[in-house]
Chain A
Amino acid sequence: MTAAVFFGCTFIAFGPAIALFLFTIAREPLRVIFLIAGAFFWLVSLLLASLVWFISVQISNKDSAAQQKGLLIFGVVLSVLLQETFRFAYYKLLKKANEGLLTLSQEETMPISIRQLAYVSGLGFGFMSGAFSVVNILADSVGPGTIGIHGDSQHYFLSSAFMTMAIILLHMFWGVIFFDGCERQRWWAVAAVVVSHLVVSYLPEPAVRGQPGAHLRHPAGDGRLGLPHRRRLPEEPQALPHLQGHRLPACQPPAQITPRGTRSPARARTHTHTHTHTHTRSFPIHLLFKVNVFNLKAAGNSWK
């Protein structure tokens, strides 16, 4: 079961990107190199953003949750801006390199056009961004564990996978638009890329994002999805919430299996669960894809 989830989510997240890579990039060595260089640039931008965030966290008040939240949002905004700055820097570097190659090789045409470079570098950014976002989640999804066992959303892996796919493709599109905007001096296009990146990365909580990522609920605890984290300290084992309505009246008819699941007349399905969040964390996906394919139930109601 966990293998199915793992493979499914991996292919959802990386399928389109890998297909693009295999069919358009893998055969051309130059494109592969620029893809990896793009990934490297993204990585460097992330490093700088993390450095600034880390320093700001160290000098701040660690007990104040609001301040930490504010710093995180600042970190996100800074990271997005740095990413776009590095995209611009990469553009400049590629322009210079291309001109250099052109003069050196005495051929009429450049070995690789700026449009191809835009596509390839955008995909490089996307690969790295997607990988950093989702690879640990995928590793956790192999298990052992059960997602949603503590009442969190069961669709965490799936929504993460879709979000990652969206981000990878978005980075590719942003790369193309950005480079084109720079080429033709259309700065509004560049601004649009930056703004849309900010919008996608930071949507104000809690209205649309819902509860924090369930699998990393406690900074020092284990995954609250019921997945043990090898690299984190285990949480104290918690008593499960008591089920109400244990007292069965005599001659209770047996539990009936209806199409909508098992309904036991004696067992009230109102066990206390303290997590009353909704499934709006998939909001960005709705926004982007405008399809209502997700039939998400509120957490805790499904005891499948």
Chain B
Amino acid sequence: MGPDHCLQEPECSGDGPEQNGQPGAARPPRVVETEEDEDEELTLKYGAKHVIMLFVPVTLCMVVVVATIKSVSFFTQKDGQRLIYTPFSEDTDTMGQRALNSILNASIMITVIIVMTLVLVLLYKYRFYKVIQGWLFLASLLMLFSFSFIYLKEVFKTYNLATDYFTVAIIIWNFGVVGMLCIHWTGPLRLQQAYLIMISALMALVFVKYLPEWTGWLILGAISVYDLLAVLCPKGPLRILVETAQERNEPIFPALIYSSTMVWLVNMADTEWPPRRRGVKLGLGDFIFYSMLVGKASATASGDWNTTLACFVAILIGLCLTLLLLAIFKKALPALPISIFFGLVFYFATDNLVQPFMDQLALHQFYI
């Protein structure tokens, strides 16, 4: 059992990583001349805080994924089932055939993602808000109910806990409904952040399970390149999305973005405006792909924990550098390229170079 189609939204449009500290609605005009300098100082002062505000959720998501992979064997078992987006099997006779299959798989997946992103941007641009909302609603419904049910089932199986359907129904119902409320309407900030982390982790686990090995690595590489192009090129779909949202002074769909502060609504311009409650935002797609990388590292590396740790540190440093660039350039930037690049380099380097070295060192009890 398992989903035989891939969920579209989080990884398509969610990999539009908006990281602009959104100022929200129209700022009251009383803040005058020192705005530029204040900006600078606050950027520096709060820059580090923003980095930590993103380190913590990214770390949590990765911890959830790694803990699940290490304990629940379901997510590392290959059932022979694949997503319809990766139809070519990697169980081939020759390496060349496997490479070819994985390249084809990755191309198909990336094409699907590109098409979905374009559709989303077009829908947004021509104000088909209801369609988008319905789409996101269905997607999060699937995540919060179906995927979490499967997850819970597998956890129960792993720990051999016999549970009756009534209890499970109550648990899943409550979990799902509260999740839908928090994500699509309103709820305590921490709860909303927790739910976004959980659905990102679930999505990452789905990818780790259903994407064949080489395909997964290729997709990670390809999607970083796509992210770079989509956000930075003038005609990139994600750039258009961000700019349109800024023109219209609207926040981008909360279901796709992790925000470190509450999103301020348009009508609050009249009331006392807390001057600097800017937070930083990271798209859910970034969470998903970071966690997928670390998840794959913990699932398939021969170096095991060393490789996992190395990828973890690499991704955090990449995120840190990206936020530094954000502080310098002050516009939406892609969050995937630097982190995924570091992550991939460190995965393959640690697995193939560092692990034999560390093995030999441990054999002779050298501590470097």
Chain A residues in contact with chain B, CB under 8 A? 29-30, 32-33, 36-37, 39-40, 43, 46-47, 49-51, 53-54, 57, 69, 72, 75-76, 79-80, 83, 101, 104-106, 111, 128-129, 131-133, 135-137, 139, 160, 163-164, 167, 200-202, 205, 209-210, 212-213, 215-217, 219, 231, 281, 284
In the complex formed, the residue of A with least CB distance to B301 is A231
Task: Report A21 CB to chain B, min CB distance, Å.
Answer: 13
Do B361 and A37 touch (CB < 8 A)?
no
In the complex formed, the residue of A with least CB distance to B353 is A50
Do A129 and B48 touch (CB < 8 A)?
no
Choose among A36, A79, A131 the residue that contacts B368 (Cβ–Cβ < 8 A).
A79
Do A212 and B363 touch (CB < 8 A)?
yes
Task: Report A108 CB to chain B, min CB distance, Å.
Answer: 13
Do A43 and B310 touch (CB < 8 A)?
yes
A17–B40 Cα distance when bound, in Å, is 35
Q: With A105-B41, A129-B368 in contact, do A216 and B363 touch (Cβ < 8 Å)? A: yes
Q: Does B131 contact A (CB under 8 A)?
A: no
Main secondary structure of the interface of A (DSSP, over half): helix
Do A76 and B361 touch (CB < 8 A)?
yes
Do A83 and B306 touch (CB < 8 A)?
no
A53–B357 Cα distance when bound, in Å, is 7
A-B contact count (CB 8 A): 130
Task: Report B278 CB to chain A, min CB distance, Å.
Answer: 15
Do B365 and A43 touch (CB < 8 A)?
no
Q: How large is the interface on B (under 10, 10 to 19, 20 to 34, 35 or more residues)?
A: 35 or more
Residues in A neighbouring B55, C-beta threshold 8 A:
32, 36
* Of B45, B356, B364, most A-chain CB atoms within 10 Å: B364
Task: Report A213 CB to chain B, min CB distance, Å.
Answer: 5
Given contacts A33-B52, A69-B364, A132-B306, 7 further A-B contacts (CB under 8 A): A29-B48, A29-B52, A50-B357, A80-B368, A104-B40, A205-B364, A212-B365
Residues in A neighbouring B350, C-beta threshold 8 A:
47
Task: Report B53 CB to chain A, min CB distance, Å.
Answer: 8
A281–B357 Cα distance when bound, in Å, is 20
* Of B52, B350, B363, most A-chain CB atoms within 10 Å: B363
Task: Report B118 CB to chain A, min CB distance, Å.
Answer: 36
A100–B310 Cα distance when bound, in Å, is 29
Do A32 and B367 touch (CB < 8 A)?
no
Residues in A neighbouring B316, C-beta threshold 8 A:
36
Q: With A47-B349, A105-B44 in contact, do A202 and B366 touch (Cβ < 8 Å)? A: yes
Residues in B neighbouring A101, C-beta threshold 8 A:
44
A210–B51 Cα distance when bound, in Å, is 46
Task: Report A85 CB to chain B, min CB distance, Å.
Answer: 14
* Of B304, B305, B310, B366, most A-chain CB atoms within 10 Å: B366
In the complex formed, the residue of B with least CB distance to A231 is B302
In the complex formed, the residue of B with least CB distance to A167 is B367
In the complex formed, the residue of B with least CB distance to A163 is B367
Closest 5 pairs between A and B when the two form their complex, measured CB to CB: A29-B48, A29-B52, A50-B357, A50-B353, A135-B305
